[in-house]
């Protein structure tokens, strides 16, 4: 099974576990080549699947519990996605299904379906006579919640944090203004409930419950703004808040001030006051940020 090929502690291969894989015997540097067995031409180096990387092992371990619930297909998507986003499998790197299947001890079907998922996310491309290769960052679907999460726990964590905060600053105040006076009592009650849950979770020191209620609160506002494109971005905001406890950081943190702003937003929405709702959202997104307003960056 796939889990047999990885260390139980890190979710990644341990020392001495890869001797049976010929392409792991002598890892080559990215972009290097190795002599072909025959034919006189040079073949690209095989992927360095198991570079000693404590940070990568930590990321895999952090997601181990969730991955186990996803089945072999989900686990493989998770592992390959993390390796691509972290740079361990660089752009234009060939991905050979047979090697992947052998490395992770999964069937050809699992490998094929996993690569299709990664292709849909823009991480890889498959072409006849070329095979499957890793695509450059410019081709990735950076709004995909999985990619947001993988970037949040990878080397790009600081860029991901900044980009998420800037995106939220751009779309959420507008969504709050548009959502004012939406007239749906069930949504208004749900927003009130989420604010109360956050307040209770803050008192109890329950950051997990706070984060979940916070994510639903913001997603609801985007969903009732009356703009389908904004609604489509609710998954991005949810992903941003779900990784807020990690190195990527969210734009806000559990605090009495944050809860007060949520309550103010809720009241403004109920009163149909778009200006106040927009202002309160901007103030909320300014809580615990390094700068209150995203500043222009030198290019």
Instruction: Domain ranges for the chain, please list them.
Output: 70-139, 145-287
Band (pLDDT 50/70/90 cuts) for residue 117 is very high
Band (pLDDT 50/70/90 cuts) for residue 136 is very high
70-139: CATH topology: Arc Repressor Mutant, subunit A (1.10.10)
Band (pLDDT 50/70/90 cuts) for residue 251 is low
Helix axes 274-286, 256-271, angle to 10 degrees: 170
CA gap 243, 238 in Å, rounded: 9
Mean of pLDDT values over 145-161: 86
pLDDT at residue 35 is higher than 50: no
- The dihedral built from the CA positions of residue 249, 56, 149 and 208, taken in this order, carries a sign that is negative
HSE-up of residue 254 (Cα within 13 Å, Cβ side):
23
What pLDDT does 286 receive?
Answer: 84
CA gap 63, 69 in Å, rounded: 10
**12 vs 129, residue with greater confidence:** 129
CA gap 160, 206 in Å, rounded: 25
Band (pLDDT 50/70/90 cuts) for residue 233 is confident
Indicate the range of 119-123, 200-204, 208-212, 277-281 predicted with least confidence: 208-212
CA gap 151, 167 in Å, rounded: 15
pTM over 0.75: no
Contact status, residue 270 vs residue 195, Cβ threshold 8 Å? no
Identical fold, 70-139 and 145-287: no
- Tens digit of each residue's pLDDT (9 = 90 or more) over 93-114: 889 999 999 999 999 999 999 9
145-287: CATH topology: 1.20.120
CA gap 104, 58 in Å, rounded: 18
pLDDT at residue 250 is higher than 80: no
pLDDT at residue 264 is higher than 80: yes
What pLDDT does 220 receive?
Answer: 93
Band (pLDDT 50/70/90 cuts) for residue 1 is very low
């Amino acid at each position: 099974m796939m889990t047999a090929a990885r260390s139980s502690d890190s979710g990644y291969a341990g020392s001495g576990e890869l001797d049976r894989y010929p392409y792991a015997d002598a890892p080559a540097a990215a972009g290097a080549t190795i002599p072909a067995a025959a034919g006189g031409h040079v073949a690209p180096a095989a992927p360095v699947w198991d570079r000693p990387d404590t940070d990568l092992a930590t990321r895999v371990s952090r997601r181990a519990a969730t991955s186990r619930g996803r089945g072999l297909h989900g686990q493989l998507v998770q592992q390959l996605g993390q390796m691509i986003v972290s740079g361990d499998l660089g752009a234009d790197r060939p991905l050979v299904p047979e090697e992947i299947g052998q490395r992770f001890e999964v069937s050809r079907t699992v490998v094929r379906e996993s690569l299709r998922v990664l292709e849909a996310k823009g991480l890889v491309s498959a072409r006849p006579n070329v095979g499957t290769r890793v695509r450059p960052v410019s081709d990735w679907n950076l709004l995909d919640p999985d990619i947001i999460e993988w970037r949040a726990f990878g080397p790009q964590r600081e860029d991901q944090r900044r980009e998420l905060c800037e995106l939220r600053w751009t779309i959420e105040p507008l969504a709050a203004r548009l959502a004012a006076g939406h007239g749906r009592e069930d949504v208004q009650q749900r927003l009130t409930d989420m604010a109360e849950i956050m307040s209770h979770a803050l008192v109890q020191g329950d950051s997990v419950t706070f984060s979940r209620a916070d994510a639903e609160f913001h997603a609801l506002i985007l969903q009732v703004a009356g703009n389908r494109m904004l609604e489509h971005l609710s998954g991005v905001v949810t992903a941003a808040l779900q990784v807020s406890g990690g190195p990527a950081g969210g734009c806000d943190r559990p605090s009495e001030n944050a809860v007060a702003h949520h309550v103010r937003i809720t009241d403004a929405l109920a009163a149909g006051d778009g200006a106040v709702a927009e202002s309160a959202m901007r103030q909320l997104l300014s809580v615990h940020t390094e700068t209150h307003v995203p500043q222009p960056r030198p290019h």
